[in-house]
Structure 1
């Protein structure tokens, strides 16, 4: 195997990892948008708050953390590899995906995580806890969904270009 073949294989593997990870995150956020939050919304305040607290506790695990951060790292590495590999047009798509995925991280850090912490600390006034949480959390999640889904589309374009654009 030549050096360029090894480099291309590594670039392809990183790009596939970024795409799969971003796709999984987009799917997770989308599932909350279309099923979890609407489903919980049909219940009473105590059920809603208790279920969201349990979901937040359950999702706070190593596998989720690996995926959440791993997709970010893989996308940035894939973009840099495309740039260094002499594929500037392909790299632009990967950098776009990286920026969009970064947006999802920023929204998570500034909106969703603080609201999760607020919900965890809320007392037994479930109506007040839900009122201070639901609408803002869902809006943040919608932004994350759109950012990740668009990043996934940009990574799909990156994959297509990578497969047919020779390195310089």
Structure 2
């Protein structure tokens, strides 16, 4: 059981790290760069990013990590006396709530709204201004929580 838990925690750490890096780059570079473009160009670029990112590899890393976290949380709670259990549950909660659910509840609906906007319209320009602020704010949450999940999983791995 310990070897399986270690493998699951290692994979969750890798997945959390991949997502942390992706969201970090969006927060510190990509969104700022898109915000410097004329609204129509920024919207068109983000629309392209939002369709391109939905690849099997991204979805496997993003959703697979969420699934690993659920399994790890269950395993950790079943073995609550284990030295790594608290860290495993913490990492799982950070990723599932702060990364996965924030994406589903906040970022994806904004992406859907942007997808239906005609980049050259005045309505789209207003949407883009709000999108840059609100979407990026929630992305900061995803960057921080996926990084914190990675840290929790690393701590758990030290104790396994």
TM-score (norm 2): 0.90
Shift of 1:85: 4.8
- Larger Rg, first or second structure (1 or 2): 1
Tell me the equivalent position of 1:139.
Answer: 137
Tell me the equivalent position of 2:59.
Answer: 65
Tell me the equivalent position of 2:106.
Answer: 111
Greater RCO between the two (CA within 8 Å, min separation 6)?
2
Counterpart CA distance in 1 for 2:85 and 2:103 is 25
The SS at the match of 1:88 is coil
Shift of 1:86: 6.2
> Which stretches in structure 2 are left out of the alignment for 5+ residues?
none
> Which stretches in structure 1 are left out of the alignment for 5+ residues?
1-6, 163-168
2:30 aligned residue (11, 33, 36): 36
The SS at the match of 2:128 is helix
Residue 129 (structure 1) aligned with residue 127 (structure 2): yes
TM-score (norm 1): 0.86
Counterpart CA distance in 2 for 1:45 and 1:107 is 25
Shift of 1:27: 0.7
Tell me the equivalent position of 1:152.
Answer: 150
Tell me the equivalent position of 1:91.
Answer: 85
Counterpart CA distance in 1 for 2:73 and 2:91 is 9
Tell me the equivalent position of 2:7.
Answer: 13
1:80 aligned residue (74, 77, 90): 74
Residue 51 (structure 1) aligned with residue 45 (structure 2): yes
Counterpart CA distance in 1 for 2:8 and 2:52 is 28
The SS at the match of 2:43 is helix
Residue-pair matches, total: 156
Q: Which aligned runs of 4 or more in structure 1 are off by greater than 4 angstroms?
A: none
Q: 2:73–2:89: 8 Å Cα contact kept in structure 1? A: yes
The SS at the match of 2:83 is helix
Counterpart CA distance in 2 for 1:62 and 1:20 is 17
